[in-house]
Structure 1
Amino acid sequence: MNLLSQLATSFQNAFHADPLLICSPGRVNLIGEHTDYNEGFVLPAAIDKAIYLAVGLRSDDELHFIAHDLGKKYQGSLASLAPTHTWADYLLGVIAQFRLAGHSVGGLNCVFSGTIPMGAGLSSSAALENGIGFALNELFGLGLDRLTLLKLSQRAENEFVGAKVGIMDMFASMMGKADHVIKLDCRSLEYTYAPLRMDGISIVLCDSRVKHSLVTSEYNTRRAECEAGVRFLQTYYPEIKSLRDVTMAMLDEHLRNTEPLIYRRCAYVVQENQRLLDGVAALEEDDIVTFGQLMYGSHEGLSHWYEVSCPELDALVDIARQQPGVLGARMMGGGFGGCTINLVHEESLDAFSEQIMKQYKAQTGKDTYIHVCKIQDGTHVVDESVTV
């Protein structure tokens, strides 16, 4: 029995009704890391690793949730929407935000599960939040557009769960389009789709199986360093609002010799924005080879200029670079662990996986998990006949 059938059966057994089935995907980011909080660009896509939800209305104001994988249940009511500091908060937070925004929602039953690898940095929380928000919109006939829904998801995670995440994860999960990446302007939220023609090429994630505790503190430090660079440059260019407005010429003239550390941080962001724009241009020309080279450049910048990589991520990229059939590779996400993202010719996939696992183990003593992904549509209704 496939996962959707399991969820539907579990829902029917628990609640004696037929559910609405929702698919809400995880995401990858092809290029453009640490640019979001500098009002730059990102290039994410929704993938075929997703959270699946079976949902239905109740006749009362109670909320009954079942985490299928965990074998755990939550029961509560709309009258007492408060953080529990458990998995249920990702659902409760969205419901709370709908009510705070004045949308009329009632009691709800939900059973959910997923195929997103835990701890791989593919935004399972955003997928779950988007999924429940999409379900509320469908079941209660609210008529909200996707942008409104994903903003409610972000608000839920920021204000109810307490994680100060940016907009990219929710945006990619909700707005994804099969065979396309999303060029998202994090300043204006304007977006366009760029084609990603992947005939014969796979997106492969290599999980370092490492998560260093540095990620939160260093994230805050990098953000502060970027803001310090902006403040310094504003004394010469008052019109500057963020690194989005800065050029390399400005940095070279005013920061290179006086503040070398701040210079490196800011230079990475300015260069990464340009790499992303160059990458979109390459995709529009169907030039995946050039795009892959820009991914290598992104990793070089993240490792040596922004200094958010780690030996394990660097090892994965170095090994990938030496393998036949690999077009590009880089670390993905906040850094200090997580996954690398690789573009690999399908005929080279088996040999690539074998060498990555063998050489990574030899160099680090750690195992790596390999996840092959395809780009799919964003959050949507599915039926039980779909195989998951």
Structure 2
Amino acid sequence: MNDNGLRETVVRAFAERFGAPPAFVARAPGRVNLIGEHTDYSGGFVLPMAIDRAVWIALRPRADSRVSVASLDFGETGEFDLGRLESAGGGWLEYVRGMAWALGDELALRGWEGVASGDVPKGAGLSSSAALELAAARAFAAVSGIDWDARRMALLAQRAENGWVGVRCGIMDQMISAAGEAGHALLIDCRSLETRPVPLPPGTAVVVMDTGTRRGLVDSEYNERRRATEVAAERLGVPALRDVDVATLESRAAELDPVTLRRARHVVGENERTLAAAAALERGDAAEVGRLVDLSHASLRDDFQVSRRELDAIVELAQAHPACFGARMTGAGFGGCAVALVERSAADDFARKVGDAYRAAVGLEPRVYVCAAAPGASIEEVR
């Protein structure tokens, strides 16, 4: 379903549920990261783009402090009181409740009621959780008269995910959902939070390839990777691996054990690849972007070791298509999605043939999306 279709779905469902149209419609997009993986928590560089798949909330303010949200996707309604925030131990509502907790520490909030739905695939590495957080942030800001500051809201959403939901994510997902720009990727410096919109090369398209696999119970693996980057920085005497270049790392390789060295080699190299890819995008050099994207996948597979058989298979099939400039896994890894930069004129053929080949080779049903770069979180007043 396209964005307009989802908007109309939540508006219609709201009217049916409450007997009147909503006062506002909030929207926040998912994202795909073109390059710059596992660099954000080392203060490094990432190059995501917001995609034309989003979470939508039709809502109106309440006169009390209660928040009530009906999720069309989960077929249930969640409610809580802003004056008595307590975790329910998990589920989609915790992202909304977490935003209330993070915002309420600094701002006066008002209750609201709404209907939510989205088409960001869940658990696929496209940041459905950040989209829900930022859509909820837009809703709270609208009913509470809070001025919207994308960077501040992204930081508060990250705080919600870290401190309330309990996921030690970096800032990338929330920042791109809050501050994305149509037609552009966004180069984010995860230390300073400075951003720079970077146009996609003319005649190209970004294709997301969902392998049909999910990460599962791999929190310990993720935490091990993150800890290894911290150990490497400590041993090299720097605040974070952001502060090391490839030449320095190789000259001091003997100071690290083999596993820690591989983890550090990925992060340090990925930062350099990300900056180079942003420069290549700005000069319209799709071939160079593709080369760097391919190198990123090899590094994630071999040095950071967060890929898996299905991700490698779909990436190799994508790279073999003549319209593909480059492809790699995207997201934290261990399952989920890959991303490819392809010739726009052949994007539909690419999607069909890669999907068919993957289905035949792996026996799983992929979902392949040709995506457009979308704007960040928005609010619309319904008149």
Task: Give the TM-score of the pair, scaled to structure 2.
Answer: 0.93
Partner of 1:300: 298
Q: Is the CA contact (8 Å cut-off) linking 2:235 and 2:255 kept in structure 1?
A: no
- Equivalents in 2 of 1:3, 1:249: separation in Å? 49
Q: Secondary structure at the match of 1:24?
A: strand
- Equivalents in 2 of 1:285, 1:351: separation in Å? 26
Superposed, 1:112-191 pairs within 5 Å as 112-191=116-195
Partner of 1:88: 93
Partner of 1:98: 103
Q: How many residues are aligned here?
A: 378
- Equivalents in 1 of 2:257, 2:44: separation in Å? 22
Letter matched to residue 6 of structure 1: T
Q: Is the CA contact (8 Å cut-off) linking 2:124 and 2:335 kept in structure 1?
A: no
Report whether the alignment pairs 1:196 with 2:200: yes
Partner of 1:253: 251
Partner of 2:312: 314
- Equivalents in 1 of 2:271, 2:84: separation in Å? 44
Stretches of structure 2 that go unaligned for 5 or more consecutive residues are none
Q: Is the CA contact (8 Å cut-off) linking 1:172 and 1:182 kept in structure 2?
A: yes
Stretches of structure 1 that go unaligned for 5 or more consecutive residues are 235-239
Q: Secondary structure at the match of 1:129?
A: helix
Report whether the alignment pairs 1:71 with 2:69: no
Partner of 1:5: 8
Q: Is the CA contact (8 Å cut-off) linking 1:215 and 1:335 kept in structure 2?
A: no
Moved more, 13-22 or 23-32: 13-22
Question: Sequence identity of aligned pairs in percent?
Answer: 39
Taking structure 1 as reference, are residues 72 and 266 closer, same or farther at Cα in structure 2, changes over 3 Å only?
A: same
The one of 228, 233, 238 equivalent to 2:236 is 233
Q: Secondary structure at the match of 2:218?
A: helix
Q: Secondary structure at the match of 2:336?
A: strand
Taking structure 1 as reference, are residues 162 and 362 closer, same or farther at Cα in structure 2, changes over 3 Å only?
A: same
Q: Is the CA contact (8 Å cut-off) linking 1:94 and 1:132 kept in structure 2?
A: yes
Task: Give the TM-score of the pair, scaled to structure 1.
Answer: 0.92
Q: Is the CA contact (8 Å cut-off) linking 1:8 and 1:384 kept in structure 2?
A: no
Query: What displacement does 1:190 show?
Result: 1.6
Q: Is the CA contact (8 Å cut-off) linking 2:112 and 2:143 kept in structure 1?
A: no
The one of 25, 36, 39 equivalent to 1:35 is 39
- Equivalents in 1 of 2:31, 2:40: separation in Å? 15
- Structure 1 vs Structure 2 CA RMSD: 1.9
Taking structure 1 as reference, are residues 247 and 83 closer, same or farther at Cα in structure 2, changes over 3 Å only?
A: same
Taking structure 1 as reference, are residues 133 and 212 closer, same or farther at Cα in structure 2, changes over 3 Å only?
A: closer
Partner of 2:336: 338
The one of 255, 261, 264 equivalent to 2:262 is 264
Q: Is the CA contact (8 Å cut-off) linking 1:298 and 1:330 kept in structure 2?
A: yes
Letter matched to residue 290 of structure 1: E
The one of 39, 42, 55 equivalent to 2:59 is 55
Q: Is the CA contact (8 Å cut-off) linking 1:214 and 1:336 kept in structure 2?
A: no
- Equivalents in 2 of 1:230, 1:113: separation in Å? 42
Report Cα offsets for 1:46-68 as digits up to 9, x if no partner. 11000011011112222221002
Superposed, 1:204-219 pairs within 5 Å as 204-213=207-216, 215-219=218-222
Letter matched to residue 194 of structure 1: V
Partner of 2:113: 109
Letter matched to residue 232 of structure 1: R
Q: Is the CA contact (8 Å cut-off) linking 2:30 and 2:127 kept in structure 1?
A: yes
Partner of 2:347: 349
Q: Is the CA contact (8 Å cut-off) linking 2:212 and 2:364 kept in structure 1?
A: yes
Q: Is the CA contact (8 Å cut-off) linking 2:142 and 2:379 kept in structure 1?
A: no
